[in-house]
Structure 1
């Protein structure tokens, strides 16, 4: 039999292997369990408990693999033996083993819960219940390290046994494990009992903040555990926040503190402040936002005051502000004011003098509050203003109102007075307003003596100097742009165009702008009013028409850089390919709302391809639209992964309103039906083409027939329509089935 050191060395080798390749965890964990069982030396048990805690907390392992390892390989039995060693063997268990076992139990609890919920098998749930009871019994008596791990386990139990949000009811395996996923009539998991147990365990956690506030380790661990529950379980978040807001971590500061007490006070106070600030960061408009902000400020000032006697402050602030809050030594009371005191208003003493050139708003502004002066009153509806003004005017003190009127009168009189003349005005009056005689030194605040000296040196009136012949001036011709500069400027222009479009989208969402109806057709004028619809029309024209003249049928046409865009020899460079890529990305960012943009763009592409055919003189031959077909297929390939069962209108509108349907689009429609949930989506789109688009009827019927033959999930919905449009196909298929059954 090998020694424990040799066994540990071999176990570390196995651990290194699974860390490099996480896919072999399901093979390694069952083989390791016999080596780390209850009868093995303590070194091996410590290694085993750490290994199991690391395995089930690892994010690289699939949740399904974790669930299979937990339920089917004896992991629960090993954890139970670690926690009940005294009852099974009679020896006290090592605290390090218990600590890692509790951490592992916190990781496997949601896995066992999901397994029991989906299989109704109570064997694993009974083992997990025994582990839970063992952990709860030692929660108040174990060493601090184990108690902290118990707090983490209890928080996980509360989170799992509390109803949460269901992101997608159809994909239960992708939803977070919570009580909301358990049916009311489940045979093993009793919803009422589990919810009551979670409520009791939550009260037990909150009891730490209410009674055991002197244990800094437990308080910090509890706050860290509760932060996840507040974030993920909105139904109980207000209860937790209420307890935290009533928690005072500065109680120890009211007495003489030792070094340990000082560390405890700092730790608990800063952890509480971080907890509350994270709540505000995740939800700035929280209903308890005012109380949270006040409590954070109170804790911050209390922490400073508690340690100010220990020379933590270089110069303590005076009790009362001196010299009326003198600007030279005043404190930043605006930043330190709490949210609750923001409503209190100090008596204002506005100045009666405002500089010349001030606006009407400056004339009537009597407050120095930036929030009040920057508020846009035009955003308030007129009917609401009419209701608010009478009661507000009645509540104003008459003496204050008269004083405000006198201040405005004084300001108006000061502005009405003629400003004193300056030297610059005098010089300007003497030499006139001719821009050619501008002299910077005369308008930059020079004194009157310098101005008069310059006036004395000016020639007398009517004096004409000798004529000076001025030759023609011509700027040098700029150097031609290189290809790299053209590419850079082209990319910058594309970015600027779509930034403008993004600003229009934001303005439309904020202001609720009603879309304007533009003239239809290929000859409409783009951007008549510089609105979003006109800007989109301009972008599509830039992408499709900017590089060739539609009227010049003899213009030579070529392809550049693999792009099928049309260019004339000698024309300026324009990145039409970049605009097309940006258009495709713009549509895919919100394809349900922007499908009309895609349809307009593809219509422009088809039109330009057809015009190109006329220029080449190939209109009589087979119609070819390479650019249109290429981007239609690309758009379809980009849409397929994101189409949902509710997107039937989007798909039908796309295939019905584009100018032509390439043959390559029908195999992609059939590919959508590979998902059983989207079969009806494809059948409805093909049926629409059959009924309302006769040129594509035969191709759509061929696709529907292929779908009926090759896809079992689509056979029944497709057969109903094929029986009407191609009855012979369905009848022959039924006869072939009957013959096969007869031969069998």
Structure 2
């Protein structure tokens, strides 16, 4: 896996784990740890040159350290349970070594902070806990890979390393260290005394030149850490010592003393309660006394005149008058609320009990001081009630007329005679029923419908055939319902899993849209029937409308419906293949809908979304227009540039039909004027597998062609030279034999171009190194005209390092030709004595 793919894997980790931390378990693998080791080593080899590329490497180092801290507990647990994970543990040890030797002493503060946090996790894992920590996974005493004593010693060393970070001169590093030590103290009480001493004596270790702002901020962080430790119940045995240390750095000890005194008072109260056991007996006797019935005898001096009054002696008329007065005084809305609260069963029993007769007595007249109507605004006024009553009577008259017409009666008396059989039968015939005025009884809706059916024969409405447009509209509606049944679709058979059910649904929709409405029927013989080739007769526009429905449905949520899109594309492609064999003039529609899908979905994709790559890699076929769409996307949206470059690289590897088109797009970006675009593209094309030598050959040829442009006539400035030569320089570090092309271009180029080449090839020559046989051979056999270039190469190689024997031998051969080619070797004389140029100048 090359560096670019490793960076992409780390980005995948960040994307999946930051939102869902439980996904970190899936990354606790050897391959991911190898990626972290390579990324950290690659980043640590880089030197701070102030460029954006170096800042990006710093970011990768931080993210890799954070990722190691996240997966470390899972890896440790795995190794504890499985002694065969030798490679996994060795990778873990390599990462630990990088953290406590290189990252913790890095010049960047952010890298140091991430290293301190990683050491905190390691200390908690490798040290024993005196607390009941069920999450701790200790190895067995006879574990083949993990020795408990050695792990504890390593954890103690790492803890001491964290303590040493309090001596840092960077405020953010110190505060981060304080926070990590506070967490360690809460979970590992054996370190509390060391942490307490380090916090209390921190001020004594500082110099007078420290910033007052930094001292104040760190003091505040230390006090907050002390407060948190003091309030932790797990280390309550150290509370008095922690409070004393808190006071030594200027903390307010009184806030804890008052709390301590409250706790003492509560403890004394509990003791007093336990000592007075006889009080409980008295309380129990009091409780028993309260449960017994004791009659209350009123005293002679009592002022309650109703205490001995017998309410049964009150006259009945007085009680009735009292009840009626209360009922008339209470507002109607209150009465309605109270009636609605009555139990339904009780009301039913009240009106259906034996002997119950509704009263016909007129209501009791209201008192003279109360109005005859309710003035509450919630109820309608008297005039409005009368108006509604008149309207209701008119509606009743109309309804009565309709009923008479349906029943073929002319008068009310005749209709009343017809409904006499419906009159209620008295429950108890022996009880005299009160005489009520005759009220016309209206039939219910069901009764009127029953009478109407008896009198008129029922006929169904005439069947009306749907028009072609209505049929097609119903078809569209049915397809739309099928599409949006995706989430609620579940398998109804016991042998079909949800995955199988979903795949069946995808295949159904894809075939329905392409074969059901899109495929034209093939010609069949007379009288023959082919059930598979029967289609719904729809023209091309209507067919496209159905496909537009599917297209909009897919674009609506491409993340979860890309499988449906791929099924549809495959069906479109197969349909085009079948139709083209039957009809030579057939117009294929696969690319039409594929490109429509890409045009609609590409603008909606997230910068880190890989759905576009999946679509392009799994689609049936790609063409030049497809690559152009990806190219337009990476040019128009800078945020998606990296993901588009990765997509193009995957196309080069996996899609041979468009391989060279995609590669050409990447190669053209390698000479882009924008530095960031150019460097990202070069990283994508510089490494290929051994099985991809034909791609390597094409990339090298392009780099040489770009370099040869500098030999043509033209006013090339420094930026032009850099962008045309950068890809070539990077490839030379991998295959130094390409350097001979540099000499041919250098000899033909102008003096300004030669100067820029000598200026910007420093990194390339240092990366190749003095041990390269190709470079040594080129120094001995350089063509005429390349003298200044050879001297520059030797100066770069031997500037700070002593020359190898091969370099000394090559310089000796050059010195023989110095007079013939007018080579000035005065500055290279230290090389002949085996010294570096800087070393000789210092002497």
Higher helix fraction (1 or 2): 2
TM-score by length of 2: 0.30
TM-score by length of 1: 0.33
| Higher radius of gyration, 1 or 2 | 2
